[in-house]
Structure 1
Amino acid sequence: MAEYDRWDIRKLLILRTLRERGTVTATAEALLLTPSAVSQQLTNLAKQLGVPLLEAQGRRVRLTDAAELVLRHAAAVFEQLERADAELAAYVHGDVGEVRVGAFSTAVPALVVPAVRVLRTTRPGISVQVREAEAAEAYELLAAGAVDLALSLAVQAPTAADPRFTRVPLLADPLDLALPRDHALAGADAVRLADLAAEPWIFGGSGPWSDITRGACEAAGFSPHQGHSAAGWTAILAMVEAGMGVALVPRMAAVRRDGVVMRALDADRPHRHVVAAVRRGAEEGVAVARVLAALREVAARLDR
């Protein structure tokens, strides 16, 4: 008879998190444990399974081939447990439950809050707990079990082939051009990105928005000169209003300012793609499915 008690789910979760986070310290922080507790649990798991799971690599540790084999099989176990948990919750609660949502800043007012309003009317037994997080961090929270659903940008999301998650495309958010009100092109019949090739551009020094802005401009045939660096939309639009430069702004993030003209681009209009994700198997839970449906409904309105 197989010794199934060797397969400790909690310890397997620690091992999986170590592979995702890379260090014992980061794993401990993600799971709210001490580094010594993480090391002890993994040592015990190695003894239970009878194979070495970690090997020293300088000051760090790396997973052995045996550990990768263990995790490959554990992935199916985690998926099935998510399905079981979702089905049990549906059986016990029906349309009742709490869904924890991690979302990047502009998605909160544009997508999450309207979805919560929809649910209050249609599914009052489902509550949503919102946690604002950077787009990449939302997936880390999802993997660690800190949220049940993550909203992120496709450029920062794991690939659709990642076995841990089920991804749901939500929205292709157009990027509009923010110009000072007195700019020569503010009232032009049509505007192309290439018309702004000589302008100072305002965008973050690194991260997804830098990549999106540079990628859009390079697709239009030029490399943007970064006149100023800012990550927050309030700061970016304030600088545009002051005539300090131009910027690409997601339509979801645009806030009206008297001194800024927002122009939709024509032939080369870029987009950023917003996706939702859940741990694979959890999408079958009633409460999570209801929240996803409400998010799709809101996204469909915005996409018109």
Structure 2
Amino acid sequence: MAEWDLRKLRILRTLRERGTVTATAEALHMTPSAVSQQLTNLAAQLGVPLLEAHGRRVRLTDAARLVLRHTEPVFEQLECADAELAAYTQGETGEVRVAAFSTAVPALVVPAVRALRATHPKVTVRVREAEAAEAYRLLAAGEVDLALSLAARAPDAADGRFARVPLLADPLDVALPPDHPLASAPALRLIDLAAEPWIFGGSGPWSDITRRACEAAGFSPHQGHSASGWTAILAMVEAGMGVALVPRMAAGRRDGVVMRELGADRPVRHVVAAVRKGGETGRVVSRVLQALRDAAAVSGHSGANSY
């Protein structure tokens, strides 16, 4: 029987996620030469080649992918074991490290932390702001225990490494300058703003969300200005420089901006939480997940088109 070394298998798994030996070494706080040596030893133990040259880099062989496919359930079981041991030794005492995107921190994480202080004071939450891709890298590497992201930016639901928990559908409203002709219109559709200059980021999730929402409404938005922060976006809207889609739970609204709800076909973005598969059974993690669900229920909405 082959010799299975969990530490080396974690290195192989991290290489699959990070893509390069250097990035793997950084994630695991190792040297690149140590990563290469450990993977060479693992290949010898298993009796199959795990890496092959690909230009100046290496990539996983089919055998390596087969190995990881069979070890994912093992990692899940170990997460469950860790959770049960923590519950046995600590009860409902412990720290949960949470990575969350910027608008989720004040809207969901902070209310959850406040609630936990009152109901479970021995549960500590440590927050790290991170966009979706980084949050999932941190989760996969074991540097955080829970990640909040937009569903559209999260790994596929079939990804066996993670368990995903839907939290809320956040409606997207339109931000208009106060003197805009449609600011006081009795009803407003996204298509009514097809000729307007739009304000959104040049790349990244909000650019994708804005473009997809407008295209679903029947037009391609003309990008008048590029900005990624809500303070900058709303300041430009207030100055009459354009219009923007804004998630309802986003912080930093301005008195000089009119926020208008869209009709029944309004777009929404779905927010999800994720933990490593098996980690959701942990008593402390489950308490944090429930607090996040409760916070989402207070501010939660539903909608038709999701982004």
TM-score per shorter chain, which class?
A: over 0.9
CA distance in 2, matches of 1:32, 1:238: 42
Tell me which residue corresponds to 2:277. 280
The equivalent of 1:207 in structure 2 is 204
Tell me which residue corresponds to 1:271. 268
Q: Normalized against structure 2, the TM-score is what?
A: 0.96
| Superposition misfits of 4+ residues, deviation over 2 angstroms | none
* RMSD of aligned alpha carbons: 1.0
Q: Give, in angstroms, the shift of residue 70 of structure 1.
A: 1.1
1:194 paired residue number: 191
* Aligned ranges 1:13-162 → 2 under 5 Å: 13-162=10-159
Secondary structure (helix, strand or coil) at the match of 1:204 reads coil
Give runs of aligned pairs for residues 189-268 of structure 1, distance below 5 A.
189-268=186-265
Within the alignment, does 1:185 sit opposite 2:189 as a pair? no
- The count of aligned residue pairs is 301
Q: In structure 2, the residue corresponding to 1:205 is in which secondary structure?
A: coil
Unaligned runs of at least 5 residues, structure 2: 302-307
TM-score between both structures, scaled by the size of structure 1: 0.97
Question: Does the 8 A contact of 2:139 with 2:276 survive in 1?
Answer: yes
Deviation at 1:256, TM superposition (A): 2.5
Tell me the distance in 2 between the aligned counterparts of 1:35 and 1:237: 45
> Percent sequence identity over matched residues?
80
Q: Secondary structure at the match of 1:62?
A: strand
Structure 1 counterpart SS, 2:48: coil
How far did residue 171 of structure 1 move? 0.6
Per-residue deviation, 1:254: 4.3
On the 8 A contact 1:192/1:267 being kept in 2, the answer is: no
> 2:161 corresponds to which residue?
164
Is 2:294 the counterpart of 1:297? yes
Quote the offset at 1:189 in angstroms: 0.8
Matched AA of 1:139: Y
> Do 2:106 and 2:251's aligned partners in 1 also have CA atoms closer than 8 Å?
no
Note if contact 1:11-1:41 (Cα within 8 Å) is conserved in structure 2: yes
The question of whether the paired residues in 2 share the 8 Å contact of 1:177 and 1:249 is answered with yes
1:12 deviates by: 0.5
